[in-house]
Amino acid sequence: MAQFHFVEDYERYVSNLIATYPIDEAMALAVGGDYERVGQIEAAILKSFGLKEGMHLVDLGCGSGRLASVLYTSVEIDFTGTDVVAALLDYAKSKAPRYKFVVHQQLSIPLPDASADMIAAFSLFTHLLHAETYLYLEDALRVLKPGGRLVFSFLEFAESGHWGVFKTTFETIRGGHQSHLNTFIERNAIQTWADHLGFELERFVSGGETAWDAAALGQAVVVLRKPDREA
| Residue span of the structural domain in which 71 resides | 7-225
In a domain, 141, yes or no: yes
**How much is the average pLDDT of 95-109?**
95
pLDDT of residue 214 exceeding 80: no
Q: Which percentage of the chain shows pLDDT scores above 90?
A: 71
In a domain, 231, yes or no: no
- Share the mean pLDDT of the chain: 90
pLDDT of residue 231 exceeding 50: no
Alpha helices in 57-99 (DSSP H): 66-71, 86-95
> What pLDDT does 159 receive?
86
In a domain, 202, yes or no: yes
In a domain, 80, yes or no: yes
User: pLDDT tens across 37-88, in order?
Assistant: 999 999 999 999 999 999 999 999 999 999 999 999 999 999 999 999 999 9
In a domain, 230, yes or no: no
CATH code of the domain in which 119 resides = 3.40.50.150
pLDDT of residue 28 exceeding 80: yes
Q: Which residue has the higher pLDDT, 223 or 174?
A: 223
Each residue of 48-74: b (16+ CB within 10 Å) or e? ebbbeeebbbbbbbbbbbbbbbbbbee
Kindly report whether the global pTM for this prediction surpasses the value 0.85.
yes
**How much is the average pLDDT of 17-27?**
94
In a domain, 194, yes or no: yes
Backbone angles phi, psi at 113, to 5 degrees: -60, 145
In a domain, 1, yes or no: no
Going edge to edge, which strands form the sheet with 56-60? 100-103, 78-83, 56-60, 116-121, 144-154, 220-225, 200-205
In a domain, 2, yes or no: no
Please give the tally of structural domains in the chain.
1
**How much is the average pLDDT of 104-108?**
90
